[in-house]
Amino acid sequence: MLGEARPSARWFDLAWLLFLLALALLPPIQEIHKQIILGCIGVFQLLESRLIAVAPSRGPAYAVLIKIGLATLLIDHTAPIVPHSTVEIAINSSYYPIYYLPVMTAAMYFGPWGTLLFTLLTSASYISLLLPLRPLLRSEFVLGSEAWGELALRLVFFFLVGIIINRFVMGYRQQTRRYQEAAETLTIANENLKKAQAEARRAERLAALGQLSAGLAHEIRNPLGVIKGSAEILNQKLASSDALAKELSSYIYTEVNRLSALVSRFLDFARPSQLELRATDLPALVERVLKSVSEQQSMDKITIQRDYAPNLPFVMLDQQLCDQVFTNLISNACEAMGEQGGELSIRVRAGEPRQEVLVEIEDTGPGIPVDLKEQIFNPFFTTKKTGVGLGLAIVTKIVDAHGGAVRVQSEPGRGACFLVSFPQLSTRQMVQDKGTEVPIP
């Protein structure tokens, strides 16, 4: 298993260069090849991270192989001369621990099997130093049992160091992954917390605005009633004696009715939701609302596509309030498509992975601009010439009271899709409502 690239720090590079300098000053000092090879090792150590960056998949293997080659050259040029002979036995070089360098590099870059493979290759390179000297060994020098034991001990230590370092490196990687996962979890939790705080602030603003709207609506309703009654009496008294005054009184009557409807909308938004929950078949509710809307406004140029998933669980709803929710959404979709018409798609399905039932109402209108997606649910925000901007705010309030959520997906020029989710209930679940058990059939 290939690991992450080894981190490089300036202090580490400086310590590494000082270590190589110390090796260069140790005997045999007169061996110029030793200094050259040590210099090559130092330069490669500094450039190793660049090699990994250029070839991230094969770079670690190249790095280990290059270090094995440089270590073999260093040992070959620091071989001691056998006493009473001119034979140099490279395998007896005191610099043999340089082979720990490729072993440790493999342990840091690779998993257990990769570490064992490259340690075996390092051991084979070390043993290969004996091969060119076999004729001389037979005639002038013979490795005794102690020498073979020493060689075997060194090879065992190669594997021991590689396995130990790889174990620590693997543990470090696992711990790093755990920290990364924890950091990602904390980041997600932090984002959710920020969203929750934003929702809480929004709820506080809406509550304050609702209280203000309720108080203002109550104060306005009484004068409106007086004005409306006076306009009716004035219209009856004038009859046809004064056409202008009669027309003006009719204007007063019409505008008072409009203001009265607006006040009623304010009260609907400000009034606390008193839910009367009942086990409801959501597709049947949506179908009933769709039929009601089609009777109230012309939908001749609108094609309706229905997609109701079978065997959906019941949901606990206040049917009267949810009628208002789907009436607003379907009416908005029809108005968005305008006189040219279009296609209205209504889908009801089970949501995943949450246990919920989703209602999707999609139109083929002009869509919602990106900068308005977060604003359309705010009270008193509207893009209609005659709207008051409370329709979607009331929808959100009702759905939130049911423990659901309202979302919108839209691309300019490609229509809009409103998704309304309600928590689903099992067939046998019992719901506590003010101390009374309401069974779901």
pLDDT in tens, the chain (441 residues): 454 444 445 666 677 777 777 777 777 666 777 888 888 888 888 888 888 888 888 888 998 999 899 888 888 877 765 554 444 566 677 888 888 889 988 998 998 999 999 999 999 888 887 775 544 444 444 556 677 788 888 899 999 999 999 999 898 889 989 999 999 999 999 988 988 888 888 777 767 766 776 677 767 777 777 777 777 777 777 666 667 776 777 777 777 777 777 777 666 666 666 778 888 888 999 899 888 888 777 777 888 888 988 888 888 888 888 888 888 888 888 888 877 888 888 899 887 766 788 899 998 888 887 777 777 777 666 766 666 667 788 888 888 888 888 888 887 778 888 889 888 765 434 344 433 334 333
Q: Do residues 114 and 105 make contact, with C-beta atoms less than 8 angstroms apart?
A: no
Tell me the three-class secondary structure of 98-127, residue by residue.
HHHHHHHHHHHHCCHHHHHHHHHHHHHHHH
Residue ranges with strand state E in 183-308:
278-280, 302-308
Q: 47-60 burial, b if ≥16 CB within 10 A, otherwise e?
A: ebbebbeeeeeebb
pLDDT of residue 29: 64
pLDDT of residue 121: 93
CATH superfamily of 278-439: Histidine kinase-like ATPase, C-terminal domain (3.30.565.10)
Q: What pTM, to 2 d.p., does this model score? A: 0.45
Q: CA 117 → CA 45, 96, 171, 328, distances in Å?
A: 21, 19, 20, 69
- Whole-angstrom distance, CA of residue 99 vs CA of residue 69: 10
Q: Do residues 88 and 106 make contact, with C-beta atoms less than 8 angstroms apart?
A: no
Fold of the domain built from segment(s) 199-270: Helix Hairpins (1.10.287)
The pair of three-digit structure tokens given for residue 68, joined into one six-digit string: 């094995």
Candidates 214, 215, 327, 322; CA nearest to 271 is 214
Q: Beta 278-280 vs 302-308: how paired, if at all?
A: unpaired
Q: CA 309 → CA 193, 344, 410, 440, distances in Å?
A: 34, 17, 23, 20
pLDDT of residue 118: 92
- Residue keyed to tokens 């300036």: 10
pLDDT of residue 84: 46
- Residue keyed to tokens 């590689």: 162
pLDDT of residue 338: 78
Q: Do residues 379 and 393 make contact, with C-beta atoms less than 8 angstroms apart?
A: yes
- Whole-angstrom distance, CA of residue 186 vs CA of residue 181: 8
